[in-house]
Amino acid sequence: MTSTTPAKPFQTHVKSLIGDIPGWLTDEEGEALYELARACRGDGVIVEIGSWKGKSTVCLGLGSRAGRSVSVYAIDPHADYRFGDFKTNVDRAGIADLVCPIPSLSQAAADAFDEPIELLFVDGSHDYDLVLEDFEKWVPKVIDGGWVAFHDTTWTKGPRKVVGAAVYRSRRFKDVEFVVGSMTVARKVERNTLRDRARNRYVLGVKTAFWLGSSALKKQRRLLPRPVERLGRRVLKAIQ
């Protein structure tokens, strides 16, 4: 008898939908956002900081739709010239009823936002001071047991420094994961254990090794053969 693994919804539906939306998410990152949104129980909402043309919004919205249809707040100045693309992509994915765009800078929007958050995705300004401000203003609104995801935490200094200190070395997060190529995901808790902290430091080591290794390859303008790259991605997932 042959057994086949059922295809995951992200692979069958979402990947093709986001394939032609410009953006910087890897497939792994898109799938992680989709699965985190799908797992939301409705104890809080989903907040995205930095939407651009909606690639990550579509992953979050479709994940939410496959789960409990939790609202997705998409915070971005949503400048006119690209809001059309954002709206088209959200409409085409059939998630317009779930997505509430907030046309604002995230730091300014924080004071007026008073809903508990179950999943926070941060991909807005990459300037250190502003990422730190996002962290300080938005993470307290995330419920214990809820999730945070930060994009660009490898090559980009601002987000990397913020998550290094405030997530990987913090007592408030567990189950930290580094998602190829630059995303850090973690679950907020009241207080983590020594074991959680040891694991978080280990994952920080994995992320740092990936960052330094891939930077060295870039410097030498070398690309890994596709099968080796695919194997590397699988190994990175398996060792966390």
Ligand X SMILES: C[S@@+](CC[C@H](N)C(=O)[O-])C[C@H]1O[C@@H](n2cnc3c(N)ncnc32)[C@H](O)[C@@H]1O
Query: How far apart are CB 43 and ligand X at their closest, in Å?
Result: 24
What b-and-e string marks burial along 191-213, b requiring 16 or more CB atoms within 10 Å of the CB?
Answer: ebeeebbebbeebbebbeebbee
- Give the span between the Cα atoms of 232 and 179, in whole angstroms: 12
Binding of ligand X by 184 (CB under 6 A)? no
User: What span, in angstroms and rounded, lies between the C-alpha atoms of 42 and 64?
Assistant: 10
CB atoms within 10 A of CB 41: 11
Pick the binder of ligand X from 14, 46, 49, 93 (CB under 6 A).
Answer: 49
The stretch among 37-45, 121-129, 182-190, 214-222 that binds ligand X (CB under 6 A) is 121-129
Using a 10 angstrom Cβ sphere, with 0-12 exposed, 13-18 middle and 19 or more buried, the burial of residue 189 is middle
C-beta closer to ligand X: residue 124 or 146: 124
What is the total count of residues that contact ligand X (CB under 6 A)? 20
Determine which residue in the list 10, 52, 168, 210 makes contact with ligand X, applying CB under 6 A: 52
Q: Is 25 in the site for ligand X (CB under 6 A)?
A: yes
- Return the number of the residue (133 or 175) whose C-beta is nearest ligand X: 133
Residue tagged 């249809």 (tokens): 69
Query: Prior bond to 61 cis, omega within 30?
Result: no
Q: Applying CB under 6 A, which part among 22-30, 37-45, 61-69, 135-143 lies near ligand X?
A: 22-30
Does residue 32 touch ligand X according to CB under 6 A? no
Per CB under 6 A, does 158 bind ligand X?
no
| Integer angstrom CA distances of residue 146 from 46, 62, 89, 187, 222 | 10, 19, 27, 6, 39
Dihedral angle sign, alpha carbons of residues 62, 63, 66, 68? negative
Written as one letter, the residue type at 128 is Y
Residue among 45, 46, 50, 182 that touches ligand X (CB under 6 A)? 50
Query: Is residue 75 close enough to count as binding ligand X by CB under 6 A?
Result: yes
- Our CB check for ligand X shows the closer of 61 and 124 to be 124
* CA distance linking residue 203 with residue 197, whole number of Å: 10
Does 154 interact with ligand X (rule: CB under 6 A)?
no
Which of the 8 DSSP states describes residue 7? Answer: P
Q: Which of 37, 47, 55, 192 binds ligand X (CB under 6 A)?
A: 55
**Piece in contact with ligand X (CB under 6 A), picked from 72-80, 89-97, 182-190, 226-234:** 72-80
Residue 95 makes contact with ligand X by CB under 6 A: no
Q: What's the closest the beta carbon of residue 56 comes to ligand X, in angstroms? A: 3
Query: Which spans of this chain sit near ligand X (rule: CB under 6 A)?
Result: 23-25, 49-53, 55-56, 75-77, 105-107, 123-125, 130
